[in-house]
Each structure stands twice: as structure tokens, then as C-alpha cells.
């Protein structure tokens, strides 16, 4: 079974631009979550989607948004990029929503804002 | 407010010996706990998990212990191997999908 696939792996953007990251979950998994990893804040939860609906949201500004498609693939968008948005963005998939199940992570997208 | 804490930023262990990584939590609503291993610039790899209805779970060389009264869990790796060198994160969840992660412990196995 293929794992979680994130594209692109690396991205360099200029402050003020916007960016879209993509995530394809494990086949059959319907829950997709996004996390941000930075040296200072560690791994922080952004949001979770299940059946094309956002189920849970972390403490991030409205510049961070996402969506999920009918095939469970998900995209994350960050508008008006700031230098502090430089981070490793990780996507995780689960077979179902709710707690009590393992989350499997992709390789991540390394975003650098200059 | 750090709800999941890993107080040891780093740990060095001789190859073949036991590695013990510790994690404390403060939120009583957490009922599911996981350990992940992470290499630089890669996503975390799931290792082992435990539900709050158990106090121990084993999978090969990895064993997780949960002490609910102390709000403490630990990961034991026996025997430790050079390939175990990585950063280890503990994570906790309640009824929701959100995982709350600790800050990680860098484990170095000395040959």
C-alpha cells in the first residue's frame, strides 16, 4: 500500500505570496490532518478534514486554509506569506475520524519564505 | 501551555542496552497515546500506541508503559540498535482527531 504522498517536497516563496500544498492520503483513509513543524514551536496541529468537511481547527490565523476533495486528497493554502511561515508542513492520514487511531505521516513539504 | 512534555532533549545509550524515553502530560482528557520516530526533513514514523484502558503495550523491541495516575508514559527500546538514533516524539489525543505532540527527545545510540 502506498503511503501518504505530499507535493512538492521543497518550495521557496517570497513574502506576500500565496502557496498551495497537496496531500494524497493512504488508499482507503478518509481523514486528513495538517501539522506545522518549526524549531521553536514543534509540531502544531493546523486542521483536519473528513468527508470534505473541516472537523477540527488549530490555533492558526485565517491565512491558513484547506480543503478536501471527494477522493480524500487534500490541499492546504497559505495566503500573504510571512517569514515566520517557513516550516515543514506535514500531512497525516487516518482510516476514520475521531481519536483512538494511528495517524500516518507523509514526508512533508519544506516551505521557505524569503 | 505545554500539555505534553518530554523533559529530556537528548539521550545517549550504548548499543545493545535499554533506551528509556519519558513523556508527561497534563490533560486528563487524553485517552490515546502514540510514539513517533523522526529523521530530519522527513515525516514522523509511527512506532507504537497505547489506549488509556491499558498500562502496557509491546511490539517487538518496543514497549510503551502508561501510568495514568502519574500522567506519565515511557517508551522502552530493547536492545538498542544504531538505526534507532533519531528524534522521538510522544503524542496524545482525546476524542478528537488532533494530536498534541511533545517537544521530542534526540536519541543517540553509541556503537
pLDDT along chain B (111 residues), means of 10: 91 98 96 93 91 95 97 98 96 87 96 93
A-chain CB neighbours of B102 within 8 Å are 42
Q: What is the pLDDT of residue A99?
A: 67
CB-facing half-sphere around the CA of A42: CA atoms within 13 A: 20
| Yes or no, beta carbons of A31 and B51 under 8 Å apart | no
Q: What is the pLDDT of residue A44?
A: 94
Q: Is the dihedral of CA A37, A93, A99, A58 positive or negative?
A: positive
What would the pLDDT profile of A48-107 be if each residue is shown by its tens digit? 999 999 998 999 999 999 999 999 999 999 999 999 999 999 999 988 766 678 899 999
| Yes or no, beta carbons of B103 and A58 under 8 Å apart | no
Residue of A nearest to B103 (CA): A42
Task: Give every CB contact of residue A85 below 8 A, 6+ residues apart in sequence.
Answer: A78, A111, A113
- N-term to C-term CA, chain B: 38
Q: What is the pLDDT of residue A42?
A: 84
Task: With cut-offs at 50, 70 and 90, classify the pLDDT of residue A1.
Answer: low
Chosen from B43, B64, B89, B95 to mutate, greatest number of chain A CBs within 10 A: B43
Question: Smallest Cβ distance to A108: which of B42, B99, B101?
Answer: B42
Question: Smallest Cβ distance to B101: which of A42, A50, A99?
Answer: A42
Q: What is the pLDDT of residue B66?
A: 98
Residue of B nearest to A103 (CA): B46
Q: What is the pLDDT of residue A71?
A: 94
Helices (H) and strands (E) in chain A, counts: 0, 11
Q: What is the pLDDT of residue A17?
A: 98
Chosen from B98, B103, B105 to mutate, greatest number of chain A CBs within 10 A: B98
Amino acid at each position: 500500500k502506498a503511503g501518504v504522498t505530499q507535493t512538492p517536497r521543497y518550495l521557496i516563496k517570497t513574502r506576500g505570496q500565496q502557496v498551495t500544498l497537496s496531500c494524497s492520503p493512504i488508499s482507503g483513509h478518509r481523514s486528513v490532518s495538517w501539522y506545522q513543524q518549526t524549531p521553536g514551536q514543534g509540531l502544531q496541529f493546523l486542521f483536519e478534514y473528513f468527508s470534505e468537511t473541516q472537523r477540527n481547527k488549530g490555533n492558526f490565523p485565517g491565512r491558513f486554509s484547506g480543503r478536501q476533495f471527494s477522493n480524500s486528497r487534500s490541499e492546504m493554502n497559505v495566503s500573504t506569506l510571512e517569514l515566520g511561515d517557513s516550516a515543514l508542513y506535514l500531512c497525516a492520514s487516518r482510516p476514520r475520524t475521531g481519536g483512538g487511531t494511528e495517524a500516518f505521516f507523509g514526508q512533508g513539504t519544506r516551505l521557505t519564505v524569503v | 501551555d505545554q500539555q505534553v512534555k518530554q523533559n529530556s532533549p537528548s539521550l545517549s545509550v550504548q548499543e545493545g542496552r535499554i533506551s528509556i524515553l519519558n513523556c508527561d502530560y497534563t490533560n486528563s482528557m487524553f485517552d490515546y497515546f502514540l510514539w513517533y520516530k523522526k529523521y530530519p526533513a522527513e515525516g514522523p514514523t509511527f512506532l507504537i500506541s497505547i489506549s488509556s484502558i491499558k498500562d502496557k503495550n509491546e511490539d517487538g523491541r518496543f514497549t510503551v508503559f502508561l501510568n495514568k495516575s502519574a500522567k506519565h508514559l515511557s517508551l522502552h527500546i530493547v536492545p538498542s540498535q544504531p538505526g534507532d538514533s533519531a528524534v522521538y516524539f510522544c503524542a496524545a489525543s482525546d476524542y478528537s482527531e488532533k494530536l498534541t505532540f511533545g517537544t521530542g527527545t534526540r536519541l543517540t545510540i553509541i556503537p
